[in-house]
Amino acid sequence: MRALCWNGVNDLSVETVPDAGIVNPRDVVLRVGLTTTCGSDLHFIDGYLPGMAPGDVFGHEFMGEVVEVGSQVSRVRVGDRVVVPSFIACGACWYCERELYSLCDTTNPHAAMQQPLIGYPSGGIYGYTQPFGGYAGSHAEYVRVPFGDVNCFDVPEGVSDLQALFTSDAAPTGFMGADFCDISPGDTVAVFGAGAVGLMAAASARLLGAGRVVVVDRLPERLELARTRVGAETVDYSEVDSVQETLREMTGGRGPDSVIEAVGMEGHGTGVQQVLDRTKQALRLETDRATPLREAALAVRKGGVLSVLGVYGLTDSFPMGVVLNKGVTIRAAQQHGQRYVPRLLQHVAAGELDTGFLATHRMSLEDSVEGYRIFKEKEDGCLRAVFTPGPVPQVQ
Ligand SMILES: NC(=O)c1ccc[n+]([C@@H]2O[C@H](COP(=O)([O-])OP(=O)(O)OC[C@H]3O[C@@H](n4cnc5c(N)ncnc54)[C@H](O)[C@@H]3O)[C@@H](O)[C@H]2O)c1
Ligand SMILES: [Zn+2]
Ligand SMILES: [Zn+2]
């Protein structure tokens, strides 16, 4: 089958690789319908996070049609149109029972590689490094889905393939970030980052009752989407002296009740700290440029919630004193998609959540190397590049 492979830093190529197939009796094989880029992939393309092996199939956000089921699969059937969350859950371990699906204790066969780094290993994820399980990713014609009954969600009629695609990763991640904020009706929620994750976090904050949602970024086309598609207010951080001061003024001096950080380790910033971060990152003394994380901690009101969705590795100069003295609650996780996907599909079907607009670029899997270039450069307003194995349909 054809697949997009990671070969090294800034080196991707579409290759012919062995077909995906059933390995365990609870596996399902999907013919990939649509698969898309994610900001997380950039950390591996740019070489800020280690762990990909040359030849690994990339991609973790996808939907498609079931073409094969293992002998112990009981619910999912061949022909089902399904969406699959990016983290793989077993549905039965201590963590899955508590709906902490990305922490699944069963699905990471390379747990021993990860344990020394983070203490207790996470679950497995498609196309996202050897320490995260070494599973083949979704930028391919077919993908193996372990524990198919737990991880495949039927797409309801009335929800298009494109709308369903983003309930795999961007939407549940954003929704989880808003859920972490324990929003009371009328709360003000600020979202740092207007990528697909941040926009979905902003839309979710509205669904969960926020009175005001303020999205912070510097890319005009993304801020425009935050206003027109999500109904958020916006701040262009490159146009203000201090994001913190701006948010303080917008909230009558108190600050937002919660701040969702949806930028991650490749965040931009200005000033001395950014120069220091860039230098340290280049010298491999720290993996992260954590300006937005620090600003988010400063911006949130006393007693508020800092909800971290952006992916970080080693972060220097995190203002722990700010967190302590302001009594801030920090919540962070890789997405627990299985908990949110059914609800999100219902919101989409009911017209309460718009996801399809995230697909600014569509192309064949054969053109996915160029797709990643456009996505990485954020060229031509690219928010997400969506790949289709085979011909790209003209109308979705
Ligand atoms: N927790 C999870 O399960 C999960 C899932 C998916 C993605 N992520 C992470 O979420 C983050 C965002 O993903 P994405 O796909 O939306 O990425 P993206 O790269 O498309 O968007 C990031 C946005 O942040 C903006 N930005 C940069 N510096 C900023 C600053 N100082 N203040 C405000 N905005 C700033 C950029 O202009 C960009 O629009 C990434 O770190 C990704 O790895 C986490
Ligand atoms: Zn992702
Ligand atoms: Zn589990």
Assess whether pLDDT exceeds 80 at residue 250: yes
Nearest CA residue ID for atom 36, ligand 1? 193
Q: Which atom of ligand 1 is nearest to the CA of 243?
A: 32
43, 239, 263: which to mutate for ligand 1, most atoms within 8 A of CB? Answer: 263
- What is the Cβ-side half-sphere exposure of residue 332, based on CA atoms within 13 angstroms? 14
Q: Summarize pLDDT for 6-25 with one digit per residue, the tens.
A: 999 999 999 999 999 999 99
pLDDT in tens, 143-186: 999 999 999 999 999 999 999 999 999 999 999 999 999 999 99
Q: State the pLDDT at residue 46.
A: 87
Mean pLDDT over the full length of the chain: 94
DSSP collapsed to 3 states, 31-73: EEEEEECCHHHHHHHCCCCCCCCCCEECCCEEEEEEEEECCCC
pLDDT of 287 over the 70 cut: no
pLDDT at residue 96, as a whole number: 98
| Residues 339-359: tens digit of each pLDDT | 999 999 999 999 999 999 999
3-state helix, strand, coil in the chain (%, to 5): 35, 20, 45
Residue 249 and residue 242 in contact, taking contact as beta carbons nearer than 8 Å: no
Q: How far is the CA of 27 from the centre of ligand 3 (A)?
A: 15
Sequence letter at residue 321: G
Alpha carbon distance, N-terminus to C-terminus of the chain: 24
Phi, psi of 259 (to 5 degrees): -130, 130
55-89 core/surface letters (b: 16 or more CB in 10 A; e: else): ebbbbbbbbbebebbbeebeebeeebbbbbbbbbb
Asked whether the predicted pLDDT for residue 379 surpasses 80, the reply is yes
Core vs surface per residue 126-162: b (16+ CB within 10 A) or e: bbbbbbbbbbbbbbbbbbbbbbbbbbbbbbeeebebb
| Residue of 36, 37, 40, 259 to test ligand 1 pocket, by largest number of atoms within 8 Å of CB | 40
Sheet strand arrangement including 258-261: 233-236, 212-217, 188-192, 258-261, 305-308, 329-332
**Å from CA of 46 to ligand 3 middle:** 31
Which atom of ligand 1 is least distant from the CA of 196? 16
State the distance from the centre of ligand 2 to the C-alpha of 315, rounded, in angstroms. Answer: 20
Per-residue confidence (pLDDT) for residue 170, from 0 to 100: 98
* For the CA of 121, the nearest ligand: 3
286 band by pLDDT with thresholds 50, 70 and 90: low
**What is the rounded CA–CA span in Å between residue 215 and residue 192?**
6
Neighbours of ion ligand 3 (CB under 5 A): 90, 93, 96, 104, 106
Give the C-alpha separation, 124 to 145, whole Å: 11
pLDDT tens for residues 120-153? Answer: 999 999 999 999 999 999 999 999 999 999 999 9
Q: Is the pLDDT of residue 395 over 60?
A: no
Quick one: CA dihedral 128, 57, 32, 380, positive or negative?
positive
- Rounded (10°) CA dihedral 22, 169, 391, 31: 20
Other C-beta atoms within 10 Å of 284: how many? 10
Q: Mean pLDDT throughout 194-219?
A: 97
Whole-model pTM: value is 0.95
Q: What was the pLDDT predicted at 280? A: 66
Say which residues have a Cβ less than 8 Å from residue 277's Cβ, sequence separation at least 6.
269, 286, 288, 289, 290, 291, 316
What percentage of the chain exceeds 70 in pLDDT? Answer: 94
Chain centre distance of CA 257: 23
CA of 197 to the centre of ligand 2 (A): 8
Mean pLDDT of 284-304: 85
- Rounded to the nearest angstrom, the distance between the alpha carbon of 175 and the centre of ligand 1 is 14
pLDDT category, 267, cuts 50, 70, 90?
Answer: confident
Ligand 1 first shell, C-beta below 6 A: 38-40, 42, 169, 173, 192-198, 216-219, 222, 237, 262-264, 267-269, 291-292, 309-311, 334-335
CB 124 within 8 A of CB 88: yes
Residue 293: count of CB within 10 angstroms of its CB: 27
Residue nearest to atom 16 of ligand 1 (CA): 195
What is the average pLDDT across 245-257?
97
Q: What is the mean pLDDT of residues 360-383?
A: 96
pLDDT of residue 315: 79
For residue 393, name the pLDDT band (cuts at 50, 70, 90).
low
Ligand 1: atom nearest CA of 291 is 31
- Give the Å distance between the CA of 81 and the centre of ligand 2: 21
Least confident of 219-223, 261-265, 278-282: 278-282
pLDDT at 274: 65
Pick the range with the lowest mean pLDDT from 39-48, 64-73, 106-115, 320-329: 39-48
Whose atoms come closest to the Cα of 43: which ligand?
1
* Residue of the CA atom closest to atom 24 of ligand 1: 193
> Does pLDDT of 108 surpass 70?
yes
Q: Name which of 41, 5, 11 is nearest 311 in CA terms.
A: 41
- What distance in Å separates the CA atoms of residue 212 and residue 233, rounded to the nearest whole number? 8
Quote the ligand 3 centre to 121 CA distance (angstroms): 12
Is 210 a residue whose pLDDT tops 70?
Answer: yes
* Alpha carbon of 77 to ligand 1 centroid (Å): 35
At 271, the pLDDT band (50, 70, 90 cuts) reads: low
Tell the residue number behind the tokens 């800020």, with chain if given: 48
Q: Which ligand is nearest to the CA of 196?
A: 1
CA of 382 to the centre of ligand 1 (A): 13
* Closest residue by CA, ligand 1 atom 1: 334
Would you put residue 192 in left (φ > 0), alpha (ψ -120 to 50) or beta?
beta
Segment 319-328 mean pLDDT: 94
Q: If you measure from the C-alpha of residue 381 to the centroid of ligand 3, how many angstroms do you get, rounded to a whole number?
A: 38
Residue 290 pLDDT level (bands cut at 50, 70, 90) = confident
Q: What's the pLDDT score for residue 266?
A: 73
